[in-house]
Amino acid sequence: MARRIQARRLEGVDKNIWVEFVSLAAQYKTVNLGQGFPDFSPPSYATEAFSKAITDEHSLLNQYTRAFGHPPLVKALAQMFGPLFGQELNPLTNVLVSVGAYGALFCAFQALVDEGDEVIIIEPFFDCYEPMTLMAGGQCVYVPLRPKPADDGRPPSSNDWRLDLAELEAKITKKTKVLVLNTPNNPLGKVFDKEELEEISHICVKHDLLCISDEVYEWLVYDGKQHVRIASLPGMWDRTITVGSAGKTFSATGWKVGWAFGPDCLLKHLRVVHQNSVYHCATGAQEAVAQGFQKELERLGQPDCYFVQLRDELQKKRDWLYHCLTEVGMKPMMSQGSYFMIADISRFKSEVPPPTDDNIPYDNYFTKWMMKHKQLASIPVSAFYSTPHKKQFENYIRFCFVKEDATLKAAEKILKKWSSESTGPKAQ
Ligand code: PMP
Ligand code: GLN
């Protein structure tokens, strides 16, 4: 009998939306509103710090640094985030720097989820939570956010998507160990408000659950809303790992610097995974991010703070994209945070030849058709759903608006031309 080569933990996790769609977007030379990355540079002081770190011949910044985070970076992270969590953070025990938020999340799932443990995942969800749970031997239990349109005539918004707390509680069993939260949420742009988070935190405390809170878009919250950290709520610090990303914070997704905050009793287990897998991430990038936080700490919340400037810039881009999508009849859902906005493509269905394979969710087929025939890339929202639920929201696609105005205008040109040539019902 032939010997099985691959480990069993790889079963069911072999497909990856980013691998597939990044390659297609390049192949069809698309205007890319698909994968979430800025097509502009990080702030120049950060790129200069990176470049200086690796070209200064007297520095050791091209060499290994401390395994769990470059000392200046963990110090800056502790200083910046301590007050935001309402905790005195010890840089050596309450902060772990890893290879992007992906690295921090992977350490968290490996460290906390055991064979047979159940993990609550709120749908739609950033796709990696599912394979990371499965690779740790856990079982995913999905709880949906459902759209409840406002009855006051307001346009649809990501915040109309609500969690039914009774439904959440009904899914908890003796095996439930972890709840995964993502706010602001990718792909909806929903920002959980304080009341929702308090209710979720009561459930975590009541059922003694751990919480992995992915907050990579924490600075990108629009319309004056506040980002609330669940770890700052009563009873939550000791049971929460909060994950962040320099990629999103400083518009430098390629640097792959991310982190986890938490109590030492949890973080010490993440450190074991980290030290035995990646050991540490690029020193030069960590040094630049450390300098970035040092600088922003001095002007936090002020108009010249990068986090304020980026947020304000992105809110304008979001508004612009919202109007563009509305004009062509794509029915966007106003996003409250993150890089993303979803839109309903029903009106364009008649413009696209019908799919031949009913097993593929319609939005997946549509986005591939649009890349190939219209040279415009987006991401199907079904990619953020578990297999049994993928077809529930297959009329939505996700657009990324952290792009130069020229890129957004190029997308507008494609959509307007397509819309004006279309034979279907026009936008209202
Ligand atoms: N979490 C969410 C919600 C994301 O959108 C992303 C994508 N960037 C990540 C985690 C991974 O972040 P990083 O690039 O820092 O690994
Ligand atoms: N987080 C990014 C997004 O949602 C991309 C992640 C990736 O490319 N793996 O678009």
Answer whether residue 113 shows pLDDT above 90: yes
Task: Report the DSSP beta bridge partners of residue 241.
Answer: 212
**pLDDT value of position 427:** 52
**pLDDT value of position 422:** 79
For 63-88, b/e burial (b = at least 16 CB within 10 A) is eebeebbbebbbbbbbebbbebbebe
Answer whether residue 40 shows pLDDT above 60: yes
Fold assignment, 44-298: Aspartate Aminotransferase; domain 2 (3.40.640)
Count CB-CB contacts under 10 A for residue 113.
23
**pLDDT value of position 425:** 58
pLDDT bucket at 249, cuts 50 / 70 / 90: very high
Select from 241, 260, 249, 229 the least CA-distant residue to 290: 249
Q: Which of 54-58, 242-246, 303-307, 375-379 has the least mean pLDDT?
A: 54-58
Check residue 156 and give left, alpha or beta (phi > 0: left; psi -120 to 50: alpha).
beta
Q: Which of 37, 105, 382, 403 to mutate to test the pocket of ligand 2 (most atoms within 8 A of CB)?
A: 37
**pLDDT value of position 287:** 98
pLDDT bucket at 426, cuts 50 / 70 / 90: low
Q: What DSSP element (H or E) covers 243?
A: strand 240-245
Span between the terminal Cα atoms of the chain, in Å? 64
From CA 120, how far away is CA 143, in angstroms rounded? 7
Q: Which of 22, 186, 216, 384 to mutate to test the pocket of ligand 1 (most atoms within 8 A of CB)?
A: 216
Query: What is the mean pLDDT of the segment spanning 330-352?
Result: 95
For helices 264-275 and 100-112, give the axis angle rounded to 10 degrees. Answer: 110
Counting ligands in written order, the one closest to the CA of 256 is: 1
- DSSP classification of residue 334: B
Answer whether residue 424 shows pLDDT above 80: no
Average pLDDT, the chain: 96
Q: Is the peptide bond before 184 cis (omega within 30 degrees of 0)?
A: yes
Look at strands 95-99 and 332-333 and give their pairing.
unpaired
Which atom belonging to ligand 1 lies closest to the Cα atom of 99? Answer: 16
- DSSP classification of residue 241: E
Select from 31, 105, 55, 38 the least CA-distant residue to 255: 38
Amino acid at 390: K
Which atom belonging to ligand 2 lies closest to the Cα atom of 35? Answer: 10
Query: What is the mean pLDDT of the segment spanning 268-273?
Result: 98
Count CB-CB contacts under 10 A for residue 389.
15
**pLDDT value of position 6:** 93
Answer whether residue 123 shows pLDDT above 70: yes
Q: Domain 8-41+305-421 maps to which CATH number in 3.40.640.10, 1.20.1740.10, 3.20.80.10, 3.90.1150.10?
A: 3.90.1150.10
**pLDDT value of position 150:** 75
Indicate if the alpha-carbon torsion angle 385, 349, 351, 160 is positive or negative. negative
**pLDDT value of position 391:** 85
Q: Which residues line ligand 2 (CB under 6 A)?
A: 18, 35-36, 186
Look at strands 332-333 and 340-344 and give their pairing.
antiparallel
Judged on CB neighbours under 10 Å (0-12, 13-18, 19+), 251 is buried
Answer whether residue 357 shows pLDDT above 70: yes
Counting ligands in written order, the one closest to the CA of 124 is: 1
Task: Report the DSSP beta bridge partners of residue 260.
Answer: 96, 243
List pLDDT tens digits, range 170-190: 999 999 999 999 999 999 999
Counting ligands in written order, the one closest to the CA of 32 is: 2
38 lines ligand 1 (CB under 6 A): no
**pLDDT value of position 324:** 97
Q: What angle do CA 219, 221, 224 make, to 5 degrees?
A: 120
Amino acid at 276: N
For helices 306-328 and 283-298, give the axis angle rounded to 10 degrees. Answer: 100
Instruction: Name the token pair of 40.
Output: 């502009």
**pLDDT value of position 146:** 93
182 lines ligand 1 (CB under 6 A): yes
Q: What is the DSSP string of 35-99?
A: SS--SSPPPHHHHHHHHHHHH-TT--TTS---TT--HHHHHHHHHHHHHHHTS---TTTSEEEEE
Answer whether residue 406 shows pLDDT above 70: yes
List pLDDT tens digits, range 194-216: 999 999 999 999 999 999 999 99
Answer whether residue 42 shows pLDDT above 60: yes
Q: What is the DSSP string of 164-210?
A: -HHHHHHT--TTEEEEEEESSPTTT-----HHHHHHHHHHHHHTT-E
Protein residue closest via CA to atom 8 of ligand 1? 36
Protein residue closest via CA to atom 4 of ligand 2? 36
Task: Answer yes or no: same fold for 8-41+305-421 and 44-298.
Answer: no
Query: What is the mean pLDDT of the segment spanning 65-94?
Result: 98
Count CB-CB contacts under 10 A for residue 48.
12
247 lines ligand 1 (CB under 6 A): yes
Q: Which of 17, 129, 245, 335 to mutate to test the pocket of ligand 1 (most atoms within 8 A of CB)?
A: 245
Answer whether residue 87 shows pLDDT above 60: yes
Query: What is the mean pLDDT of the segment spanning 239-259?
Result: 98
**pLDDT value of position 155:** 83
Distance 186 CA to ligand 1 centre (A): 9
253 lines ligand 1 (CB under 6 A): yes
From CA 366, how far away is CA 184, in angstroms rounded? 26
Select from 206, 210, 310 the least CA-distant residue to 260: 210
pLDDT bucket at 45, cuts 50 / 70 / 90: very high
pLDDT bucket at 154, cuts 50 / 70 / 90: confident
183 lines ligand 1 (CB under 6 A): no
**Domain locations in the chain as residue ranges:** 8-41+305-421, 44-298
Distance 279 CA to ligand 2 centre (A): 23
Residue percentage of the chain with pLDDT more than 70 = 98
**pLDDT value of position 239:** 98
Which atom belonging to ligand 1 lies closest to the Cα atom of 339? Answer: 5
Query: What is the mean pLDDT of the segment spanning 73-84?
Result: 98
Torsion of CA 256, 260, 264, 270, to 10 degrees: -60
Counting ligands in written order, the one closest to the CA of 401 is: 2
Q: Which residues are within 8 A (CB) of 129 and not within 5 positions of it... i.e. 6 or more apart?
A: 105, 109, 119, 121, 140, 180, 182, 214
pLDDT bucket at 421, cuts 50 / 70 / 90: confident
36 lines ligand 1 (CB under 6 A): yes
**pLDDT value of position 151:** 77
Count CB-CB contacts under 10 A for residue 239.
21
